[in-house]
Structure 1
Amino acid sequence: MTAMSATGFIIKGKVQGVYFRESARKEAEKLHLTGWIRNNTDGSVEGAVFGDPAVIDKFILWCHKGPLLAHVTEVSTHPTDAVSLQGFEVRRG
Structure 2
Amino acid sequence: MTVTESERARLIARVHGHVQGVGFRWWTRSRALELGLVGSAANLPASRVEVVAEGPRENCEKLLEALRSGDTPGRVEHVAELWMEPKGGLTGFVER
Same fold (TM over 0.5): yes
Unmatched segments (≥5 aa) in structure 1: none
Alpha-carbon RMSD: 1.5
Would you say 1:30 and 2:20 are equivalent positions? no
Would you say 1:90 and 2:95 are equivalent positions? yes
- SS at 1:18's partner residue? coil
Would you say 1:57 and 2:64 are equivalent positions? no
Matched residue type, 1:89: V
- Larger CA deviation: 1-10 vs 53-62: 1-10
Unmatched segments (≥5 aa) in structure 2: none
Of 60, 71, 74, which aligns to 1:70? 74
Q: How do 1:5-24 residues align onto structure 2 when only pairs under 5 Å count?
A: 5-24=9-28
Paired residues in the alignment total 90
Note the alpha carbon deviations across 1:50-73, whole angstroms, 9 max, x for none: 011111111001111353x41111
- Note if contact 1:20-1:66 (Cα within 8 Å) is conserved in structure 2: no
Which 4+ runs in 1 deviate beyond 4 A? none
CA distance in 1 between counterparts of 2:60 and 2:85 reads 14
- Note if contact 2:12-2:81 (Cα within 8 Å) is conserved in structure 1: yes
